[in-house]
Structure 1
Amino acid sequence: MSFTIRQLQYFVAAAEKGSISRAAQSFNVSQSSVTEAIKDLESDLGVILFDRHSRGLTITHKGHQFLRHATEILSNVADARRAFDQQQDEASGTLHLGVTSLVAGYVLSDILARFRRAYPAVEVTAIEDSGEYLEHLLIGGELDVAVMVVSNLRDRMALQSEILEVSPYRLWLPLGHRLETPDSIALDDISDEPLIMLTLDEIEEATAKLLGALGSRPPVAFRTRSVEAVRSLVATGAGIAILPDLVYRPWSLEGDRIESRDVSGALPVVQVGIVWRKGSAPKQTTLNFINIAKAHRMLRSR
């Protein structure tokens, strides 16, 4: 039996939300419907996609590999449906796009790929820089739109934004770490742990504010602008990390396992969104990009 689009949607939702119950809630269906769909998908593929445990689900290595294919399939299906809803063949023009480093590889790539497929005649130029500089370019009219972290957007009077994704902070641990098994981890539990600090966008600032709530701050073992370096360092036991779930992957490039756990307390979230200038109607290519980004958000939230 071949797998279905519905099975793929349930699988992606379970992988992103980490539990059957939350996946079922997002589709307003019973937990048994999601469970059976995933079991049938595993049977059809001949692989185990999730490890089941009391705290929910952990995606397996094979499941992580299949997740990329499943997401691409669902994206292509959405593109195919939209092709009959819009008159796209003659769409042309230019789009000047900005992106911050953190979201370039985690949010923008899928949106931009869908936009290029939908509007192949549009010439796209893109620049990667800090959020502060992208705001300057947007206000000055040098950029049409940007995909960036909007949690701390500076000039909300001049800029319009729409949130695409909200990502909570989670604790990253190497396999076998002493904090791997507790159901609840408090900030005090990590006060003496060496920390791997990511210095991209406002992540370092937000993490510093978060750790400032501790009586004694964890020692920083390493600072890096590379998410892959964080993964490798955490996986090999060099330290822990507190980062948005947006950039979490369960494996380092070397194939070592990385665990992810919730931390109790009021942790901040990272909001990723699209930003454009207020005060004048966006040109058509900008509106088309915004609509593509919104469609991408709706697909991921299903």
Structure 2
Amino acid sequence: MSFTIKQVRYFVSVAELGSVTRAAHELSISQSAVTEAIKELEWRLGVKLFERRRRGLEATHHGHVFMRHAKAILSEISNAESTLSETATETPGTLNIGVTSLTAGYVLSDILSRFKRAWPGIEVTAIEDNGEYLEHLLVGGELDVAVMVVSNLRNSQALHSEILTVSPYRLWLPVGHRLCNFDSIELEDLAEERQIILDVDEMQAQALKLMSVFPNRPRIAFKTRSVEAVRSLVASGAGVALLPDLVYRPWSLDGDRIESRDVSGSLPVVQFGLVWRRGATVPRSTRAFLAVAQAQHTPRNR
């Protein structure tokens, strides 16, 4: 059996007051209870904690060493008690979330459903807008947190971000496409393919990065702001698409099958994550949301 918190408290009181009598008076217990607790503690630790002097008790070398640990233990206990007490008395609070159109359905929805189950009393409001405007609202304190692409933050000095998931690009193809039978697909194999581009705000910078890795300028058939439109166009044979694997689904709205394949080469990746303001006190509701989001992912700070 290890030592108890009560023994630690008694030890600290005796060490600070230099007397069992004074410690007993301070703790409002009997001197014998203090004496027995100190003896038991010394036996558990296997060292002598006090030397008797003319004016009372003085901590030994081992006593001084243990004193540092004892105070740290009691401090942690006090912090835990305070935190739990504050949590129990705090009002549920509110949470203002920002989200981009792409992350609304593919990242936020799952996090939000788990958050509402864990914290049903917190009132949540969400606003969907482009990344630049969400950053503006975060810096101004009008949003608590945003779920968005964090690969290319504009205000990285004012904002803290945490990556939740990294999604590589994959090639979307209609059933029966010639590339479906390739053992390995290279970027050069896409040179003559008509590309369908997802042109939503948070993907524009990513699309430029993607286009830059092609040996020659790719043939662009369509640009659209709708992921569902990309699915339908690919499934109908209007072209192929390179998109983050996170948004891949094997069927279009019309029920047509869409194939997905890896492409060899140095393709960029898209980082989806959480963003909040640097240097600000993080409210309890925001801390709770971050904890729920982090629980399902392995976060990386930036």
Secondary structure of 2:115's aligned partner: helix
Deviation at 1:114, TM superposition (A): 1.1
RMSD value over aligned CA atoms? 1.8
The residue type paired with residue 163 of structure 2 is: I
Identical amino acids, percent of aligned pairs: 66
Check 1:177–1:184 CA distance in 2 against 1; reply closer, same or farther (3 A cut): same
Aligned mates of 2:108, 2:118 — CA distance in 1: 15
Deviation beyond 6 Å, 4+ runs, structure 1 = 87-90
Structure 2: runs of 5 or more not aligned? 1-86
**Superposition pairs for residues 19-168 of structure 1, below 5 Å?**
92-168=92-168
Q: Which has the larger radius of gyration?
A: 2
Structure 1: runs of 5 or more not aligned? 1-86
Q: How many residues align?
A: 213
Deviation at 1:91, TM superposition (A): 5.6
The residue type paired with residue 243 of structure 2 is: L
Check 1:91–1:249 CA distance in 2 against 1; reply closer, same or farther (3 A cut): farther
Aligned mates of 1:204, 1:177 — CA distance in 2: 27
Aligned mates of 2:295, 2:88 — CA distance in 1: 16
Query: Deviations along 1:189-234, whole A, 9 cap, x unmatched?
Result: 1111111110113323322332233343222111111101100110
**Kept after mapping to 1: 8 A contact 2:102/2:202:** no
Aligned mates of 1:88, 1:174 — CA distance in 2: 55
**Kept after mapping to 1: 8 A contact 2:171/2:260:** yes
Q: Which residue of 1 aligns with 2:285?
A: 285
Matched, 1:170 2:170: yes
Q: Which residue of 2 aligns with 1:245?
A: 245
Matched, 1:276 2:270: no
Q: Which residue of 2 aligns with 1:200?
A: 200
Check 1:89–1:189 CA distance in 2 against 1; reply closer, same or farther (3 A cut): farther
**Kept after mapping to 1: 8 A contact 2:93/2:122:** yes
Deviation at 1:88, TM superposition (A): 8.0
Aligned mates of 2:170, 2:88 — CA distance in 1: 41
Structure 1 length normalisation: TM-score?
0.67
**Kept after mapping to 2: 8 A contact 1:148/1:272:** yes
**Superposition pairs for residues 205-216 of structure 1, below 5 Å?**
205-216=205-216
Deviation at 1:121, TM superposition (A): 1.5
Aligned mates of 1:208, 1:97 — CA distance in 2: 28
Aligned mates of 2:88, 2:135 — CA distance in 1: 30
Aligned mates of 2:295, 2:254 — CA distance in 1: 34
Aligned mates of 1:100, 1:253 — CA distance in 2: 22
Check 1:209–1:285 CA distance in 2 against 1; reply closer, same or farther (3 A cut): same
